[in-house]
Structure 1
């Protein structure tokens, strides 16, 4: 068992990589509590909830936090207090006001200055920049504790992570097949980890091939969007609607994500069509769109099945529908079905049709 004195009392874990943050936090908790019951030794608070102005409840929440931070554990010899949304813990401009914001800030400030002997503190946040936090609190944690940042940016490629993660799950994944997985699934580590977990269950110990990966993930929404636009490019309404219905039934609350992927795919088709019109060679286009070989040529066919004007009109229509999809989520299936019907009927082939 790690002696108490070898453990830091303060931890800040932040960034936009939810999976890495979650794993790091639970690793810290495990190091602190070891074999102790988490039900007794772990309390979690959300700054967003603590700052709510609901009458009769907000002060009680703050009081709960204060009690948790001051009273030593009764059924165990150590405790972890986990405070989320740490970017919201900031000093009010009017420091004289006795409101939740100031009380929360003062409570956390007191913790950081002098943490109780038997209590450890973990602060987490989805913020990505140091300046998103209270400067004084951040610097104090940096001086007295440990800060872990898990942030990725636009061109992030988690290939090494995918290969290492696959190996840990018993999947001998090469760089080529790792890249293929990323190309189809995307760079979200939670989704990649989910697909690797499924691969480990069905393909563990087997020699991984291109076809096996394609077959296994053919139902993933990224791949499904490709199949959807493929059907739309051929003006085949029924297959496109069947795929749409399947995706919405599997994850009805992910209509925004699905709509975003449809927009991305049509943006890609516009880019490809533009390169075709500029007489780019097929090999040059394939290199620029960065898709797996088995998808690249089919995407070229998709782009050629549309006219440049048609793609512009479709993309313009999707852009106009963006807010409706966000704020009228219950209508998302009907809105998308209507767009698909227009595409397959040739509605967007004429300029006036897209206006």
Structure 2
């Protein structure tokens, strides 16, 4: 059925234009959860969530799944049912089809999945792709992340300057969970007025923000002591290895594209560095190396690359 996009779906939910069934697919799990939360807020009363909302995992469905997800709402607009990981479903396919086909105005069913390739999927997944509203969540681009920051802050009744948005992007990138956490912190300590760069430096921590730039500078200058100190500070602040690798990738990519960032490496130097970074990223994702050790080794190699 119709493929919608994130921004359109958010507006539809806010306006109460909510469909009977959705498939939320792709790799951006945080945004999937955000959409589920929006549906939950719109459809289900807090006091009756124990009765009017059900959540299951595809590989743990009960034999009578139809009865669970077709229960009429007790005190809410609709009964909301969420099934995570339909690509792992082993039973209950026909019962789920019956729910989707019922088009009941009292039900809303949300299915989630990872990356979808229609040519390689089984019959049930192909049927779902043809019969529900689909939204595929991939990683947000820089512009999408900045738009998300602005709209998230405004949805809380606050405001944020463009410079502050750019600083959050420079600092965190597209780690949506970390962004959400920092925005919640900012709104707690800055309940009035627009959030400015000085607020981010004061609340998020200027030393933490500067550490990533110090790390870039250390790699550029081949200064091992400065680089390891900056890395130690980032870990002390609780920065995830994957986020550090991501921030380095942005910096190295800018060097490769000739955008002229401060401390940019030459083209050949940046190409070699990106190759090292990609190997590290892959080893972390595969679980071949501890994340912290892998990043420490990467920084050591980058600083001693010449």
Look up the match of 1:348.
305
Contact 1:82–1:123 at 8 Å: present in 2 too? yes
Look up the match of 2:33.
22
**Cα offset for 1:169?**
3.5
Contact 2:23–2:135 at 8 Å: present in 1 too? yes
Contact 1:169–1:197 at 8 Å: present in 2 too? no
Contact 1:14–1:128 at 8 Å: present in 2 too? no
Please give the per-residue CA displacement for 1:259-284, whole angstroms capped at 9, x wherever unaligned.
23323323333444xxxxxxxxxxxx
Paired positions, count: 286
**Cα offset for 1:229?**
1.6
- Summarize the alignment of residues 163-202 of structure 1 with structure 2, pairs less than 5 Å apart: 163-202=150-189
The CA RMSD over aligned residues, in Å, is 4.1
- The normalised TM-score by structure 1 is 0.62
Please give the per-residue CA displacement for 1:66-107, whole angstroms capped at 9, x wherever unaligned.
45246x479879743221224566xxxxxxxxxx3xx43212
SS of equivalent to 1:204: coil
SS of equivalent to 1:247: helix
Look up the match of 2:228.
241
Look up the match of 2:10.
none
SS of equivalent to 1:37: helix
**Cα offset for 1:12?**
0.6
Tell me which of 247, 255, 260 is aligned to 2:241: 255
Look up the match of 1:107.
95
**Cα offset for 1:307?**
6.2
Max Rg structure: 1
Look up the match of 1:56.
none
Say yes or no: does 1:204 pair with 2:191.
yes
Look up the match of 1:276.
none
Relative distance call for 1:184 and 1:249 in structure 2 (3 A) is: closer
- The normalised TM-score by structure 2 is 0.69
Contact 1:83–1:124 at 8 Å: present in 2 too? yes
Look up the match of 2:21.
11
Question: 2-side partners of 1:117 and 1:261: how far apart?
Answer: 46
Unaligned runs of 5+ in 1: 1-5, 51-60, 90-99, 273-287, 290-295, 350-355
Question: Which of 104-113 and 319-328 deviates more?
Answer: 319-328
Relative distance call for 1:190 and 1:9 in structure 2 (3 A) is: same
Relative distance call for 1:151 and 1:244 in structure 2 (3 A) is: closer
